Chains A and B, each alone.
Chain A
Amino acid sequence: MIHKSLKQLSQALAAKEISSVELSTLFLDRIERLNPEINAFVTVDREKTLKMAAAADARIATGSAGPLTGIPIAQKDIFCAEGWRTTCGSKMLANFVAPYDATVIEKMHRDAGMVSLGKTNMDEFAMGSSNETSFFGPVKNPWDRARVPGGSSGGSAAAIAARLAPAATGTDTGGSIRQPAALCNLTGLKPTYGVVSRYGMIAYASSLDQGGPMGASAEDCALLFNTMAGFDPRDSTSLERPAEDYARDLDKPLVGLRIGLPKEFFGEGCDAAVMAAVQDAIAEYRRLGASTVEVSLPNSHLSVPAYYVIAPAEASSNLSRFDGVRYGYRAPDYGNLDDMYMKTRAQGFGDEVKRRIMIGAYVLSHGYYDAYYLQAQRIRRLIANDFVAAFESCDVILGPTSPTTAFKLGEKSADPVQMYLSDIYTIAVNLAGLPGMALPCGFAGDLPVGLQLIGNYFDEARLLNVAHRYQQATDWHQRRPEGIE
């Protein structure tokens, strides 16, 4: 039961082979047993979960169930969920019980009737690529418990890989869905900016942040994405577009598909074993009828530098709200108001968050704004234009998700710059606002390798189709870590 796809779980629930309470209990028991070591969840509340499951069973009994009603899911702890502790991986919010629901939470639970298994661990305020910046401790990769699961949605990734949850949500500002998906042998979708509401999703870099699904397959992601996407008047950057069924094209043949291979993604800087798996995937796509064409993203090497100006600038503004006044942590001892702010923020934030806030404060300060912030925004335009040009000769772009497989806990945590470079293939997609996916494409030794697919704006249905057809022809996504039965 724990390895079934969402579609199979939906069928089992509809056929009354299992109830949502039974299914949820199965996963809660696994969490109780395995989470102390994996540390994928930071908050679990059996009573709340089972109450939601009972309500879902009632919906199923009355015939008012949707396709995902009663299916349990893990929520990244960046989404506010009313009555649930919502920490964003930070001491600052360690005791914050959200007084309202994020739109994503409302859509998945109230509307679709899914059941929340709890809140997953993450890098503090989504700033990290290894889940090591979390106030609640690192998460272990179920494929090798001495290694990181990636980040920032590392708890969500580890939860799915260890089958503590059938699927999860993530958010992706510079690769935070795709990189952990790649490192844990999962499928993840970072949607076009503006398609999934950011209301109630704790903000890191507002012009880049985007929520999306993580699961065992493209089909699972398509079903989840159907419940997550859609216009939301409460998010001023939400896009008004007609509703779509993102699963509609899953089975479409790939004959005639033009795959662009950016030469910058196939040069130096990528592990040979990762590249070998990506090359095998390209060969598989050719067998499926796709053709390949070389494209160029000449400014992609500037994506990491530009990102580390733009994202910190937005973060320094967004995180100014954490001042010990309206919610969250307040330092126990302080003098005047300014001292209260300074001590609260010094004690409440971890080192990486402080670094990014300080970079942001600096690049936005008088005398540096033009040289850093505006220059980064101009480079952002060049990067976005590169994609526009590339999509003139191809339908999707393909490359590696991450230059390496999962690295060891502690291996990169002392050197921020080394950590930042693990997002070298994913960040440009966020800067341009495009949709991107990660999916399993083989192994380097015992560790999974993730393929990345990048689509044109609003081309999620095609990306899911391209990923799904590959998963019909290969079984990488069905491989499981040792000991997870």
Chain B
Amino acid sequence: MSLTTEQVKRIAHLARIEVSESEALTTQGHLNGIFELIEQMQAVDTTGVEPMAHAQDVSQRLRTDVVSETDRRAAYQAVAPETEAGLYLVPKVIE
């Protein structure tokens, strides 16, 4: 498998990372090298092997539905790039 520059740009867009033409080319080279390493997996027959998503075979814990956190909105918003009246500000998305 070998990624084209167009594919690299599509992946970058999926990841929401802006890339220039020259960055796309360099990235293409690096990613293809990495995928060459990854391709070693394809030679292995894993029919019937259960995928392992997690190191421990445990199920998700549940907690009682009660308030456990205090209101720390001001502290958390103090580190945001832009806020107003307790809201996070972003460019307008609805005209």
Contact = CB atoms under 8 A, between A and B. Distances in A.
Interface of A: 96-97, 99-100, 192-194, 207-208, 233, 236-237, 239, 299, 301-302, 304-306, 308-309, 316, 320, 323-330, 334-343, 345-346, 349, 354-355, 357-362, 365, 371-372, 374-382, 384, 415-417, 420, 431-433
Given A100-B75, A378-B52, 10 more contacts: A99-B76, A99-B79, A207-B55, A208-B55, A236-B60, A304-B37, A306-B41, A326-B80, A362-B31, A420-B34
Given A324-B81, A355-B30, A358-B11, A381 B18 contact: no
Contacts of B17: 342, 345-346, 349, 354, 357-358
Size bracket, chain B contacts = 35 or more
Nearest to A376: B41
B80 A382 contact: no
Interface of B: 3, 8, 11-19, 27, 30-31, 33-42, 44, 46, 49-56, 58, 60-61, 63, 72, 75-76, 78-82, 88, 90-93
Residue from B18, B58, B75, B88 having most chain A Cβ neighbours under 10 A: B18
A420 B81 contact: no
Contacts of A379: 41, 44, 46
Nearest to A338: B16
A193 B42 contact: no
A342 B91 contact: no
Contact of A377 (B39, B40, B51): B51
A341 B46 contact: no
Contact of B56 (A193, A334, A357): A193
A416 B33 contact: yes
6 contacts: A208-B55, A305-B37, A325-B81, A355-B30, A358-B17, A374-B51
Given A340-B90, A341-B16, A308 B38 contact: yes
Given A305-B38, A325-B90, A384 B11 contact: no
Contacts of B55: 192-194, 207-208, 384, 431-433
A378 B51 contact: yes
A354 B28 CA distance: 12
Contacts of B63: 233
Contacts of A237: 54, 56, 58
A378 B49 contact: yes
A97 B79 CA distance: 7
A236 B58 CA distance: 10
Contacts of B60: 236
A380 to B, nearest CB: 4
Nearest to A434: B55
Given A305-B41, A358-B12, A346 B19 contact: yes
A337 B44 CA distance: 43
A345 B91 contact: no
B51 A96 contact: no
Contacts of B18: 339, 342-343, 345-346
Contacts of A432: 55
A133 to B, nearest CB: 13
B61 A236 contact: yes
A100 B79 CA distance: 12
B79 A96 contact: yes
Contact of A345 (B3, B15, B33): B15
B33 A417 contact: yes
B88 to A, nearest CB: 5
Contacts of B31: 355, 358-359, 362
Contacts of A416: 30, 33-34
B78 A99 contact: yes
A326 B52 CA distance: 33
Contacts of A431: 55
Contacts of B8: 358
A239 B56 contact: yes
A341 B15 CA distance: 10
Contacts of A323: 16
Contacts of A301: 40
B27 A358 contact: yes
Nearest to B75: A99
B49 A302 contact: no
Given A99-B79, A309-B41, A378 B91 contact: no
Contacts of A192: 55
B1 to A, nearest CB: 9
A362 B11 contact: yes
Given A305-B38, A309-B41, A325-B88, A316 B15 contact: yes
Contacts of B49: 378, 381-382
A329 B82 CA distance: 11
Nearest to B56: A194
A97 B75 CA distance: 10
A342 B23 CA distance: 14
A302 to B, nearest CB: 6
